[in-house]
Structures are given as C-alpha cells and as structure tokens.
Copies of this chain bind each other. A is one copy, B any other.
Amino acid sequence: MFDKHSHPRDVRRAIRAGQFAQPTNGIAADYVQCNVLILPSRHADDFATFCERNAQCCPVLARSLPGDPHLPTLGEDLDIRTDLGSYRVFRNGENTGDVADIESLWRDDFVTFAFGCSFSFEEALVRAGVNMRFLERGDTAALYVSDIDAHSADPFYGKVAVSMRPLTPADAIKAIQVTAQYPDVHGEPIHIGLPELIGIAHLENSIEKIGRTRVMPDELPVFWACGVTPQLAVQNAKLEISISHTPAYMLVTDVPLTNLKRSEIPQ
C-alpha cells in the first residue's frame, strides 16, 4: 500500500482512517519517523529533564501542550490520538496491551513527546553506501537493555536500551561517521565490538522478538542508544497511565530527514 516514495501525509491519513496498521520501516523514507510517549502533564517537566539528561537516547523533536493532540511542527494535520498504527498502554508501569487508537483514552492533561528514531538513521546509512547486509538476510536491528545507568530525573530512572546492527569493520567505520551527523536520531554509536562490556552476555537475547539478528564472522556488533530507554524509565516510574507507540509502528512526520543533518563539525 505504501512504500519509500509515499508522502507522510498520505500514510497518516490511511492510518487515521483505519486502512493501514503495519510497521512503518521503509515507508516515506525521505521523512523523519518518531518514537512517541504520552503521559499526564504533572509528570511532563520531570520527564523532559530525564530526556535532556539522556539526549542520545531520547532526542526530543516535539512536545505538545497539555491536552492538545496536535504536533504542528511535525505535521500540520497530525493528530496523535489516531495517527499511529498501534499504541501500547501502560498502567502503573505494566504493559496492558496494544490498541488501534486512543480517542477513548485521551485526557485533557495528556502531554505528547516525540523522539528521533533509528529508522531514520538507517535510511541515512543506506544512502551513504553502508551495506546493511543484516537487512538483506531478513534480520532487523536487535534491541537490548545494557547495564549502563541512564541519568535519572526523579521519578524517571533505568538502564540504557540499545539497538544493535552487525556491520563489517569498514562499514562500521563509515556508519559511525554518518550517524554522528544526525544527533537528533541518536547520533553516533555508544559501543562497538565487545558487548559483554555493556552487560550484554548473549547477543541472541534481544528484548523484542522481531527477528533474530545474527553477527557473521566478518562483522562487528555496533550499538546505538535506543528510544526504548524512555519507555523503560516511564515503566519504572509506575505512572498511573502512559502510552507509547507499539514498537515498529512509528509516527510518520512531514519533517525531511535532511533537516536533521548537521552541516558543521563542532569545534
């Protein structure tokens, strides 16, 4: 139905009309996709502080006004109550399941945070000529919880989640340079090559069952900070309610990917 050439507005309209509820990777590839977290406004400032302190995990691209379901800087017609293909609802920190929309759950104190997501930098890597062999093998990025502590901001705390992509050494070197140019979608990797140093003893134990990601003998595992980190922190905070996107069902925005590219080297 949709592909990399689709316009994000058309994708959102179809999702809103209930005509499209699938993972969004590879769709509208010229545009930024976002992780989403929605929580009551009385927690919003603390959560914003958590995000600031862990900017590589949670690069905030937009924050809504309380009760306002719109994020106009990400899409003029965007309505966060209907524009994700699937939502995950947490109560007291527990995952209570996925729902297709949140119109009936919406509250006038809900604040939405949208974060840069690694689907965007995967597109940048492909364009830079990085050979994403794991995608060709039918694998996807694997997700893990590392033993690195995120910087806490009471009541939000937890470990840093990471995504892993296996790359040849030459492609890993290129990928580090490319993703460093996109600080708003997690930036450069936080680890390479020795997963046991960040508390990952077994690469097969990915936290999301979205396909095994094998590391071939001529590849190194490369780890980026991951947008699952704020989800873990929100669960740890045991808020009475919070809502995220369902993994892989991202918010498709109208922001061109090129807008996020840093053009100058920081001194």
Residues on A close to B: CB < 8 A?
169-170, 172-173, 176-177, 180-181, 188-194, 197, 218, 220, 262-265
Contact = CB atoms under 8 A, between A and B. Distances in A.
B197 A220 contact: no
A169 B224 CA distance: 12
Contacts of A263: 264-265
A74 B193 CA distance: 40
Contacts of A191: 169-170, 173
Contacts of A220: 192-194
A177 B190 CA distance: 13
Which 9 A/B pairs are nearest by Cβ-Cβ distance?
A176-B176, A193-B193, A169-B192, A193-B220, A169-B191, A177-B180, A169-B193, A173-B176, A173-B189
Nearest to A223: B169
Contact of A197 (B169, B177, B193, B262): B169
B176 A190 contact: no
B194 A169 contact: yes
Contacts of A262: 265
Given A173-B176, A177-B180, A263-B265, A218 B194 contact: yes
Given A173-B191, A176-B177, A192-B220, 10 more contacts: A169-B193, A169-B197, A173-B176, A173-B188, A177-B180, A177-B188, A193-B220, A262-B265, A264-B264, A264-B265
A57 to B, nearest CB: 15
A189 B181 CA distance: 18
A13 to B, nearest CB: 33
Given A177-B176, A264-B265, A192 B190 contact: no
22 contacts: A169-B192, A169-B193, A169-B194, A169-B197, A170-B190, A170-B191, A172-B192, A172-B193, A173-B176, A173-B189, A173-B190, A176-B177, A177-B177, A192-B192, A192-B193, A192-B220, A194-B218, A194-B220, A197-B218, A263-B264, A264-B264, A264-B265
